[in-house]
Chains A and B, each alone.
Chain A
Amino acid sequence: MMKHGITRKLLFTGMMLAALVPLGLSAAEPEDVIKYRKNVMKAIGGHTSAAAAIVQGKVDYKAHLAEHARALQVLTKDIPALFPKDSDFGDTEAKDAVWTKRADFEKAAKNARTKVEAFAKAVQGGNQQAMAASFKDMGEGCKGCHKDFRKEEK
């Protein structure tokens, strides 16, 4: 009875460990994290420049603007999550300050995020001037974070 109980316990522990192994593996390679966040950033840039062309009246795709704004909302939801610990070396332009001054970094990311929301709201509102102003302000948010947390090293 006793022996059986221990076996069961061991079996249970083994199963738990086995369940943890895939989790352990899913702690992604830093290189892949860096590639992933670069691609997310590129996507953000793509929507930003596309939105800029519409806001500035260079192209006539006004109907698409809400989609770009929504994409930006989704993509910037949690920027700090793209910068986990141990993703600070390799082919990255992130400055060490992303990790050493984490609170400042999260504040800057949140600031950018708030401005993305404001832009999306202005797009909903449809006022041309408000859109242009909030778009410019959103850019300030992007630049504000890049200024302190990204190396110009391309």
Chain B
Amino acid sequence: MKNLAMHKSVAVWLFISVAPVLSAADDALPQGEYLFHAAGCATCHTQEDNKGSPLAGGRALKTAFGIFYSSNITPDPDTGLGRWSEADFQRALREGISPEGKHYYPAFPYTSYTQLTDADLRALRKYLLSRQPVRQANRPHELPWYLRARPLLSFWKMLYFRPGVFQPLADKPPAWNRGAYLVKAVAHCGECHTPRHFFGGFKEAQYLAGNPHGVDDTKIPNITPDRKTGIGKWSASDIADYLETGMTPDGDFAGDLMADVIDNSTSVLIREDRRAIAAYLKSLPAVESLARSPKK
């Protein structure tokens, strides 16, 4: 017992003196806070443009399928997650099913969060429950009539949703696996950067190769190492620097949604994690895309 307490205090000390090292933090709160930033929850769940309350939802996400409004993820018991059990939370993020048993639209990226580990999901929930509760009812999505029936989503999931925790590859170095976990499960980069076909499933062969019809009417760039249409000419440190400061190798600066992602998420990460992401991205197969690259 004493041993455990000491272990914990050492971990807390490490957290204060070094940085929130995800795997080293024994206390679930810092781990949850770190994950919260890494996953960029605030970016979608806060209506920043209209000075909305943090995490109370209502931000519009304009997609090719309609306008989705993010939900309230504050601990408010009636309009937020206050009454959700641990199991409710796990099922929502891992299976995309609400506590009432309804399917979520994949605008909520459970397609990525399904890969989060149990420990990370627990830590994330604990952190969210520590936030300021805000009473704000969720705004219904604006979708064409043929997409309004949620049971349809069970077919969609059958076709395109692969639930399951991230499995590290034994033949890859730890930094690569860490990068893969961050890109796939936590930061959910593919949700925007991988193109989707007509029914909204991912074009797996074009993983991270850019989406010409991205959210909010933007063209999302190819981030595979293709030299012509992707970021093949960026060094690993170019990528890590970009995720920290927003500056591209030619001195341009990120804007729009990616500026939010950098401010809320990737700039908050520890350096090693940005490097891990860079190493993972550099290792991907280069895919030439029609969506043009951000920079030459």
Residues of A within 8 A of B (CB): 41, 44-50, 52, 93, 95, 136, 139-140, 142-147, 149-154
Between B217, B255, B262, the greatest number of chain A beta carbons within 10 A of the residue's beta carbon is seen for B255
Whether B256 contacts A152 by the Cβ 8 Å rule is: yes
- Which residues of the other chain, B, contact A50 by a CB distance below 8 angstroms? 251
A-B contact count (CB 8 A): 76
Known: A147-B260, A150-B255, A154-B294. A139 touches B247 (CB 8 A): yes
Whether A143 contacts B250 by the Cβ 8 Å rule is: no
* Interface residue? B107 (CB, 8 A): no
Residue of A41, A47, A140, A152 near B220 (CB, 8 A) is: A152
Chain B: residues with Cβ within 8 Å of the partner, total of 26
Whether A139 contacts B245 by the Cβ 8 Å rule is: yes
Whether B292 contacts A154 by the Cβ 8 Å rule is: yes
* Interface residue? B252 (CB, 8 A): yes
- Which residues of the other chain, B, contact A144 by a CB distance below 8 angstroms? 259
Whether A147 contacts B251 by the Cβ 8 Å rule is: no
CA distance A154 to B211 in the complex (A): 11
- Which residues of the other chain, B, contact A41 by a CB distance below 8 angstroms? 252
Known: A152-B220, A154-B292. A143 touches B254 (CB 8 A): yes
CA distance A140 to B250 in the complex (A): 16
CA distance A45 to B246 in the complex (A): 12
Known: A152-B218, A152-B219. A146 touches B247 (CB 8 A): no
Whether B294 contacts A146 by the Cβ 8 Å rule is: no
Known: A146-B259, A147-B259, A154-B292. A52 touches B220 (CB 8 A): no
Chain B nearest Cβ from A27, distance in angstroms: 28
Whether A154 contacts B251 by the Cβ 8 Å rule is: no
CA distance A150 to B253 in the complex (A): 10
* Interface residue? B293 (CB, 8 A): yes
CA distance A6 to B61 in the complex (A): 66
Whether B245 contacts A153 by the Cβ 8 Å rule is: no
* Interface residue? B249 (CB, 8 A): yes
- Which residues of the other chain, A, contact B252 by a CB distance below 8 angstroms? 41, 45
Whether A49 contacts B249 by the Cβ 8 Å rule is: yes
Residue of A49, A93, A150, A154 near B293 (CB, 8 A) is: A154
* Smallest CB gap from A44: residue in B: B251
